[in-house]
Amino acid sequence: MTNYIEYKFKVAEVEPFNEIIIAMISELPFESFVENEEGFDAYMPKTEENIDQVKEVIDAIENIDFSYTRLEIEQQNWNATWEENFAPILVNDQCLIRAEFHETIENIPYEIIIQPKMSFGTGHHSTTHLMVEYILETEFTGKDILDMGCGTSILAILGMKRGANYAECIDIDEWAVENSIENGKRNGVSLDAKMGDNSLLGSKQFDIILANINKNILISQIPSYINVLNEGGDLFLSGLMEQDFEDIFAFCTENGLKFISKKQRNEWIALHFKK
């Protein structure tokens, strides 16, 4: 079981500097950023942490008034940390993402209830928000979908609620896999959750692939996504910053994908390609 490290940032001017700091530390192995009134909290697995590297990157940030503290979160303390930080999210008045202890909102077409334990992907981060927007705009009825780097499997759950036939969810973290299965049951959908990476992809073909990871991992894995994506299938990518666009666009088009559209929220982007 993996313990997590919380870096709690206090930022003098939350807007616009929260997003700027997040952008500058996004190459570090943080799995989630949760913004709040004083700044934001960033989380990474203890096994991925290199304290000297983290300090070097953070110390290189200049001309922004902020401070930070570091705390190791033990597994049994995660639920308390989660409840303290998590607020419900409403995307385009169409999808509510909440915990069981939050009130529901009437007349919202889609509601996802999650309890993330030690896995991340609460919907707060701009990249998840953008991917939810894409799912709400895309036809999922009868489709087989793949959610790579699934975290809490919000994306796969919404895809199933939108009418998908089958959802395979893959993450390198065992907590994410366990939590994905539980969140699927909590939301009345069946998810085929597996621990590992793109090496698990076999002969199964998908109509839609959702991958919200980061630029370097995406570039290393996109060829394997193409191999399992049906002709005419949709590939949605996020975990990307605005400055990543040219590299991802070039790599995908060189590998035969057709660029469809880009979404942006603050400094973050999500991209839609077709095979």
- Smallest CA-to-CA distance from 9 within 81, 79, 64, 83 is with 64
Burial class of residue 222 (count of CB atoms within 10 Å of its CB; 0-12, 13-18, 19+): buried
CA angle 198-195-113, nearest 5°? 110
**At 186, which helix (H) or strand (E)?**
helix 174-186
Summarize the annotated binding site for S-adenosyl-L-methionine as residue ranges: 128, 149, 171, 212
**At 210, which helix (H) or strand (E)?**
strand 206-212
Distance CA 182, CA 191 (A): 9
Summarize the annotated binding site as residue ranges: 128, 149, 171, 212
Q: Are 194 and 98 in contact (CB under 8 A)?
A: no
